[in-house]
Structure 1
Amino acid sequence: MEITLTTPALLFPALSLLLLAFTNRFLSLANLIRNLKGVYQTNRSHLVYGQIQNLRIRLILIRNMQAFGTASMFSCVLCMFMVYAGLQTAGKIVFGVSLVLLMISMALSLWEIQISVKALELELSDLEHEEEKAPVPAPR
């Protein structure tokens, strides 16, 4: 397989969009953590503390997603440099590393999404449990 300068450049739009999405997730989680911290300091709820712990794990995953995505982009640039310098074999290897880093970043993203969905399911089940306990209003 021949790698040209345009081969690794094809990943730039995808990597840029992924990093933007990861940054948006990070910012929304940071905002949620700040809000929940205030709620926890007010009422010391174990449920809120559990949510904050869940968000901490997700925050670490997002940090790692961004790190692997950035490393993938760096590898793409390094691959382009190597191809430009005429180091085809090294360029192929670095491009392969870039693809592996991208796959790791996406796998972490999938893991983070699964944790997020699990947390939302717990929140909904708690709401449903409260609804079942609520008294049924008398017919009018």
Structure 2
Amino acid sequence: MDLTLTSPALLFPAISLLLVAYTTRFRTISERIRILHAQFTETPTESIVGQIDTLRKRVYLIRNMQACGVASFFLCVLCLFTLFAGSLFLSKLIFVISLILLMISLVFSFWEVLLSVHALELQLSDIEKHLPKKKNYSFSKSKELTARLRKKTNEE
């Protein structure tokens, strides 16, 4: 495999965009934690405690995502320096480590998405407690409702 200057340079925009996305996630979660904290001081509920616990785990995952992303970015820059210095073997080794760190960052990202789904399930289950027991609010029912609404709008 030939490693040229363009190989690590191709990762710069990808890693930069990932870091921006990770920062946005972090900011959104920190705002949500502040809102939940205010709600908890007014009316403490188990749902809020569960959400805050999940958000804490997500914050730590995002920290790890960012750390791996920054380390990957740093190693890409270091790879360019070693390419300039003419050390092809070291450049390849550094580039491979950079790719591994990027993959680890993406695994953390997926894990964080799974936790965010869990937090949404907590909130939805809290809402479902207050819904009438007779109705089924499943996805299949919403498909039927959508089909009936489309049929009515087409008739009009």
Superposition TM-score, scaled by structure 2 size: 0.82
Aligned length: 134
Q: Find out whether 1:99 has 2:99 as its counterpart.
A: yes
Which residue in the other structure is 2:73 paired with?
73
Question: AA paired with 1:15?
Answer: I
In 2: Cα distance, 1:126 partner to 1:132 partner? 13
In 1: Cα distance, 2:39 partner to 2:29 partner? 15
- The alpha carbon displacement at 1:95 in A equals 0.1
Unaligned ranges ≥5, structure 2: 135-156
SS of the residue aligned with 2:86?
Answer: coil
In 2: Cα distance, 1:21 partner to 1:45 partner? 31
Which residue in the other structure is 2:27 paired with?
27
User: C-alpha offsets along residues 92-113 of structure 1, whole Å, 9 cap, x if unaligned?
Assistant: 0000000000000000000000
Which residue in the other structure is 1:138 paired with?
none
Q: Are the equivalent residues in 1 in contact too, given 2:22–2:65 (CA < 8 A)?
A: yes
SS of the residue aligned with 1:132?
Answer: coil
- The alpha carbon displacement at 1:50 in A equals 1.4
- The alpha carbon displacement at 1:133 in A equals 5.0
In 2: Cα distance, 1:81 partner to 1:7 partner? 13
In 2: Cα distance, 1:126 partner to 1:39 partner? 15
- Quickly say closer, same or farther: Cα 1:122–1:46, change in 2 above 3 A: closer
In 1: Cα distance, 2:31 partner to 2:88 partner? 45
Which residue in the other structure is 1:12 paired with?
12
SS of the residue aligned with 1:68?
Answer: helix
Which residue in the other structure is 1:84 paired with?
84
User: C-alpha offsets along residues 15-67 of structure 1, whole Å, 9 cap, x if unaligned?
Assistant: 01100000000000000001111111111222211111110000000011000
Question: AA paired with 1:22?
Answer: Y
SS of the residue aligned with 1:2?
Answer: coil
Superposition TM-score, scaled by structure 1 size: 0.91
Unaligned ranges ≥5, structure 1: 135-140
Percent of paired sites with the same residue: 51
Question: AA paired with 2:59?
Answer: L
Which residue in the other structure is 1:48 paired with?
48
Greater radius of gyration (CA): 2
